[in-house]
């Protein structure tokens, strides 16, 4: 006998949510999705429907991965205490994490989120440089704190831009020929020079440049070769530090590389981490060289209560182990290449879409109006909502929310790519 | 046959820790303590020795409590995703948490730490008041971020005090008669007036006063009746908000009350939470009225990735359930009163110690030099280290680190109090 259809609890839950979390707490989709469980890249909704998750990077090694759940569960039954007591868990994890980074990045300060990681990174850069000026991408987001809100350019905040913040346009060479790319590189580096000079003239100096090496919020921008190294060299000449925010680009997202910043020659002074780090367990980290941390520690009593506790460390370490055991980086490289190839076939000759962007298991497609060439967020939104109705979760990024964001958990398989591409192809063909 | 003695792994672990977390990552005690497991208020060290935990408030309902571990474990095997999708876990928990607060405090924004909670509280206060000035206790600590570091007075930070920060001395009426207390109240409120005027004259205005209602860092100060209400009224007249930081004083620590701020008539505009909230799971919250959150949300796209995920919500909710099931508040009231009574007998007539301070299951004893009356941190340190050698964990607070900090998990029982008092009595008698 089939089960009776479930009562749809969503409307009531939505009202109860508004009456506790407020009406502005953000929700995806025109009709919000109530989820109850997940496994791998598949999610089950309250109404019984299954969804392919091609969006979330927090469940990095797959939803509800048993190895991470077991590690957390076992350690929670043992001990969850702060790092003012010695415990081997945090040290084991720190060693494993640091082993994935350049040898000059040999100290880690754990935290509980990407926001905390970026706050500490900026604190460190201010301390080291003696400056307060920040150079930020003009369409970016790095966290929820006051300092980060004053440096936010990619979403709405009521805070005015900090007087110590200057913004730069990350150059996008998508579709440009060599000559145009060279010209773009020159004008972009000239803008960097001008913004550094402006910070210096205003007396702030340069503490740091902070960016996501994949430029995810910006829409997976294709930076001209030499831009990042030129930018970093200029910041360092001004006494500032290079902070790479790996919250979206790290942990093997770029299949062939562990870290987004490895796409460029320049080695960061500070690397920040968050979202995928604990497969959902609140975990962040700020990585730097020993000299910087020792100098900062000598003048600051810095302690983060939850950070590096044995349970968080068990979660983070389990993620690294699963990545190795299940060969998730080579799989991300192979499946990312497959996805990009197949998506490219779907969009070939479509006047609304330029080339498929992204790297590794992170793809984007930018929609423009075929007549005017203007960004076309309305069509991108229609595609995201149609994919949702079809059981596939993706989202949007870019300066005008006009770029599809396809960024599944690394557990994504070739068969999942086929499902996604088939459905997306049908939707795009019907536009 | 007895087991062979364990090799002491601590020296090696300490070296490995320094080579990853740095040499300044703080550790308790002259000889650091390596812990492997806990249960209730008891901890087991790597060398096999057992310790009574009379210090930690993060393992609020007891170390490795099975109900919290089970809740986290079950939810981790199901789903750990962000609140952009609907899920009943976070709403159930939000309702349960808000039910413990004054009816005007009816909205919650979850986070991952007390630092995040206080950052958001200050953001909200700046937004609502249109001001940036902060009034802070002159010996306090509220978190690790840049904004909070610039307002930190109770530990070493390299950041200069923010130009928008003014400090006030929280008056301590311990040992004063009525006339002296009345005089102290008047001079202390006059200082508040002066600091508010200073913020206004400098153009910052008053955004908020932020304090821990138990004044834990300050050393469990006994504020004169009327001080807090007078302080809050003055701040509100200046357009500022009252933020109560319940990271140490909340969740039934004050046995007869759920929240430290209930010790006073004034109801906070914003309440922040952290440490004990998830029994070790990284969890924080900022609670406020609907009007404030709705206004802020209308002008700010605010979203915290890990916050309020189903696993964090399960952990927080389990803590509230265990508190009710095990009657931890009435137990904290009874055992706190017992502890205070017995400690008072121990110190009676001891010229080095004034009265026993604190409220609920949080006790302090201040050491002074009998000759000079000066704070005596050296003796307090000797006592803490002697208690450690005797198998009991306590710590120190106060302006000079001269006050013993006795703040066990709420699972602390009368028999635990007997052990603590007996050992402490012996150590104090031998001073």
Q: For A246-313, give the DSSP string.
A: -TTTTTTTSTT-SSGGGGSSPPPSEEEE-GGGGBTB--EEEEE-HHHHHHHHHH-----SSTT-HHHH
Question: Using CA atoms, how far apart are residues B182 and B170, in angstroms rounded to an integer?
Answer: 14
Residue that terminates a domain, selected from B258, B290, B325: B325
In a domain, A5, yes or no: no
Q: Is B300 touching A (CB cutoff 8 A)?
A: yes
Q: Is A408 touching B (CB cutoff 8 A)?
A: no
Beta carbons of A114 and B13 less than 8 Å apart: no
Beta carbons of A26 and B301 less than 8 Å apart: yes
Can you give the pLDDT at residue B6?
46
Question: Using CA atoms, how far apart are residues A212 and B132, in angstroms rounded to an integer?
Answer: 30
As a whole-number percent, the residues of chain B with pLDDT over 70 amount to: 97
Residue B235's domain spans which residues? 66-325
Residue that terminates a domain, selected from A264, A296, A325: A325
Separation of CA A413 from chain center: 21
User: Residue B405's beta-bridge partner residues?
Assistant: B364, B395
Q: What is the pLDDT of residues A342-384, one digit of tens each?
A: 999 999 999 999 889 999 999 999 999 999 999 999 999 999 9
In a domain, A3, yes or no: no
Q: Phi and psi (nearest 5°) for B303?
A: -150, 135
Q: Is B79 touching A (CB cutoff 8 A)?
A: yes
In a domain, B1, yes or no: no
Using the predicted structure, report yes or no on whether residue B4 has a pLDDT greater than 50. no
Do residue B32 and residue B173 come from a single domain? no
Instruction: Give the pairing type, strands A392-393 and A50-53.
Output: parallel
Q: B272, B228, B265: which is closest to B246 by C-alpha?
A: B272
Do residue B180 and residue B221 come from a single domain? yes
**For A86, which DSSP code?**
B
Instruction: For residue B373, give the CATH number of its domain.
Output: 3.90.1150.10
Can you give the pLDDT at residue A354?
86
Per-residue tokens: A8: 């749809």
Q: What is the pLDDT of residues B137-189, one digit of tens each?
A: 999 999 999 999 999 999 999 999 999 999 999 999 998 999 999 999 999 99
Question: Using CA atoms, how far apart are residues B365 and B431, in angstroms rounded to an integer?
Answer: 15
Do residue B342 and residue B299 come from a single domain? no
Q: Is B19 exposed, middle or buried (0-12, 13-18, 19+ CB in 10 A)?
A: middle
Nearest CB among B106, B113, B147 relative to A112 is that of B113
Per-residue tokens: B209: 């006063």
Using the predicted structure, report yes or no on whether residue A11 has a pLDDT greater than 90. no
Question: Using CA atoms, how far apart are residues B327 and A271, in angstroms rounded to an integer?
Answer: 45
Q: What is the mean predicted confidence (pLDDT) over B364-385?
A: 97
Can you give the pLDDT at residue A2?
42
CA angle B245, B248, B252 (to 5 degrees): 100
Beta carbons of A293 and B24 less than 8 Å apart: yes
Q: Helix (H, G, I), strand (E, B), or coil: what is residue A335?
A: helix
Angle between helices B10-21 and A88-98 in degrees, nearest 10? 40
pTM: 0.96
Through-space distance between the first and last CA atoms of chain B, rounded to whole angstroms: 41
Q: Is B223 touching A (CB cutoff 8 A)?
A: no
Name the B residues in 148-207 with CB < 8 Å from any A CB. Answer: 149, 155-159
Q: Which residues contact A186 (CB under 8 A, 6 or more apart)?
A: none
Do residue B302 and residue B341 come from a single domain? no
Q: Which chain A residues contact residue B304 at CB under 8 A? A: 113, 115, 144
Q: How many domains does chain A have?
A: 2
Q: What is the pLDDT of residues A303-339, one digit of tens each?
A: 999 999 999 999 999 999 999 999 999 999 999 999 9
Q: For A212-226, give the DSSP string.
A: -TT-TTTTS--PPTT
Q: Which chain A residues contact residue B111 at CB under 8 A? A: 113
Q: Which chain B residues contact residue A37 at CB under 8 A? A: 78-79
Q: What ipTM was reported for this prediction?
A: 0.96
Instruction: Give the pairing type, strands A50-53 and A42-45.
Output: antiparallel
User: What confidence tier does A10 reach under pLDDT thresholds 50, 70, 90?
Assistant: low
Q: Is B95 touching A (CB cutoff 8 A)?
A: yes
Do residue B153 and residue B173 come from a single domain? yes
Do residue A43 and residue A111 come from a single domain? no
Do residue A285 and residue A264 come from a single domain? yes
Question: Using CA atoms, how far apart are residues B124 and B130, in angstroms rounded to an integer?
Answer: 10
In a domain, A2, yes or no: no
Question: Using CA atoms, how far apart are residues A161 and A285, in angstroms rounded to an integer?
Answer: 26
In a domain, B97, yes or no: yes
Kindly report the average pLDDT of chain B as a whole number: 96
Q: Which residue of B has its CA nearest to A117?
A: B145
Q: Is B114 touching A (CB cutoff 8 A)?
A: yes
Contact A122, A207 (CB under 8 A): yes
User: What confidence tier does B10 reach under pLDDT thresholds 50, 70, 90?
Assistant: low
Do residue A275 and residue A352 come from a single domain? no
Per-residue tokens: B382: 């000797």
Q: Helix (H, G, I), strand (E, B), or coil: what is residue A142?
A: coil
Label residues B99-133 b or e (16+ Cβ within 10 Å = b): eebeeebbbbbbbbbbbbbbbbbbbbbbbbbebbb
Q: What is the pLDDT of residues A25-38, one digit of tens each?
A: 999 999 999 999 99
Question: Using CA atoms, how far apart are residues A219 and B182, in angstroms rounded to an integer?
Answer: 63
Name the A residues in 238-277 with CB < 8 Å from any B CB. Answer: 274-275
Q: Is A96 touching B (CB cutoff 8 A)?
A: no
Using the predicted structure, report yes or no on whether residue A69 has a pLDDT greater than 70. yes
In a domain, A242, yes or no: yes
Question: Using CA atoms, how far apart are residues A197 and A75, in angstroms rounded to an integer?
Answer: 51
Q: What is the pLDDT of residues A15-61, one digit of tens each?
A: 999 999 999 999 999 999 999 999 999 999 999 999 999 999 999 99
Q: Is A236 touching B (CB cutoff 8 A)?
A: no
Using the predicted structure, report yes or no on whether residue A156 has a pLDDT greater than 70. yes
**For A174, which DSSP code?**
T
Q: Helix (H, G, I), strand (E, B), or coil: what is residue A40?
A: strand
Q: What is the pLDDT of residues B74-125, one digit of tens each?
A: 999 999 999 999 999 999 999 999 999 999 999 999 999 999 999 999 999 9
Candidates B20, B270, B278, B397: best to mutate against A (most CBs of A within 10 A) is: B20
Contact A40, A280 (CB under 8 A): no
Q: Helix (H, G, I), strand (E, B), or coil: what is residue A359?
A: coil
Using the predicted structure, report yes or no on whether residue B318 has a pLDDT greater than 70. yes
Kindly report the average pLDDT of chain A as a whole number: 96
Can you give the pLDDT at residue A112?
98
Contact B280, A80 (CB under 8 A): yes
Can you give the pLDDT at residue B251?
98
Q: Is A232 touching B (CB cutoff 8 A)?
A: no
Can you give the pLDDT at residue B354?
86
CA distances from B18 to A86, B25, B360 (A): 11, 8, 38
Q: For B320-367, give the DSSP string.
A: HHHHHHTTHHHHHHHHHHHHHHHHHHHHTT-TTEEEEEESSS-EEEEE
Residue that terminates a domain, selected from A270, A294, A325: A325
Instruction: For residue A229, give the CATH number of its domain.
Output: 3.40.640.10
Can you give the pLDDT at residue A355?
87
Beta carbons of B119 and A146 less than 8 Å apart: yes
Q: Helix (H, G, I), strand (E, B), or coil: what is residue A60?
A: coil
User: What confidence tier does B336 reach under pLDDT thresholds 50, 70, 90?
Assistant: very high
Do residue A242 and residue A367 come from a single domain? no
In a domain, B5, yes or no: no
Can you give the pLDDT at residue B355?
87
Beta carbons of B280 and A126 less than 8 Å apart: no
Do residue A310 and residue A362 come from a single domain? no
Q: Distance from A367 to chain B by nearest Cα, in Å?
A: 24
Can you give the pLDDT at residue A7?
54
Q: What is the mean predicted confidence (pLDDT) over B208-218?
A: 98
User: Residue B287's beta-bridge partner residues?
Assistant: B108, B271
Candidates B6, B10, B21: best to mutate against A (most CBs of A within 10 A) is: B21
Do residue B53 and residue B73 come from a single domain? no
Question: Using CA atoms, how far apart are residues B198 and B163, in angstroms rounded to an integer?
Answer: 11
Do residue B20 and residue B157 come from a single domain? no
Question: Using CA atoms, how far apart are residues B112 and A120, in angstroms rounded to an integer?
Answer: 15
Beta carbons of B280 and A157 less than 8 Å apart: no
Can you give the pLDDT at residue A8?
58
Q: Distance from A414 to chain B by nearest Cα, in Å?
A: 23
In a domain, A207, yes or no: yes
Contact B222, B234 (CB under 8 A): no
Question: Using CA atoms, how far apart are residues B229 and B227, in angstroms rounded to an integer?
Answer: 6
């Amino acid at each position: 006998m089939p089960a009776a259809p479930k009562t749809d609890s969503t409307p009531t839950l939505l009202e109860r949510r508004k009456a506790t979390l407020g009406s502005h707490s953000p929700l995806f989709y025109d009709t919000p999705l109530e989820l109850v469980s997940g496994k791998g890249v598949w999610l089950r909704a309250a109404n019984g429907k299954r969804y392919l998750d091609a969006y979330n990077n927090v469940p990095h090694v797959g939803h509800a991965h048993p190895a991470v759940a077991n590690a957390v569960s076992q350690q929670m039954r043992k001990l969850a205490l702060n790092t003012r007591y010695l415990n081997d868990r945090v040290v084991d994890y720190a060693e494993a994490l640091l082993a994935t980074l350049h040898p000059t990045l040999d100290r880690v300060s754990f935290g509980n989120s990407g926001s905390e990681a970026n706050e500490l990174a900026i604190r460190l850069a201010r301390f080291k440089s003696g400056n307060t000026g920040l150079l930020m991408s003009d369409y970016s987001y790095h966290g929820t704190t006051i300092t980060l809100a004053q440096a936010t350019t990619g979403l709405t905040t009521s805070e005015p831009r900090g007087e110590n913040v200057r913004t730069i346009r990350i150059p996008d060479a998508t579709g440009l020929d060599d000559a145009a790319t060279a010209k773009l590189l020159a004008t972009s580096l000239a803008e960097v020079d001008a913004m550094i000079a402006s910070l210096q003239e205003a007396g702030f100096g340069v503490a740091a440049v902070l960016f996501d090496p994949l430029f995810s919020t910006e829409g997976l921008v294709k930076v001209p070769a030499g831009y990042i190294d030129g930018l970093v060299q200029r910041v360092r000449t001004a006494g500032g530090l290079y902070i790479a925010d790996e919250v979206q680009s790290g942990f093997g997202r770029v299949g062939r590389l562990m870290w987004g910043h490895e796409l460029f020659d320049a080695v960061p002074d500070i690397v920040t981490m968050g979202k995928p780090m604990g497969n959902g367990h609140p975990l962040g980290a700020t990585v730097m060289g020993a000299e910087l941390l020792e100098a900062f520690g000598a003048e600051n009593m810095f302690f983060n209560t939850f950070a590096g506790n044995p349970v968080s460390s068990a979660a983070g370490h389990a993620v690294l182990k699963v990545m190795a055991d299940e060969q998730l980086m080579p799989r991300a490289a192979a499946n990312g290449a497959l996805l990009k190839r197949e998506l490219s076939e779907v969009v070939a000759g479509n006047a609304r879409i330029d080339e498929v962007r992204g790297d590794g298991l992170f793809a984007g497609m930018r929609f423009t109006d075929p007549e005017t060439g203007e960004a076309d967020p309305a069509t991108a939104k229609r595609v995201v909502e149609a994919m949702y109705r079809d059981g596939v979760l993706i989202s949007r990024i870019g300066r005008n929310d006009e770029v599809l964001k396809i960024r599944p958990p690394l557990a994504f398989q070739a068969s999942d790519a086929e499902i996604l591409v088939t459905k997306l192809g049908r939707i795009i063909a019907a536009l």
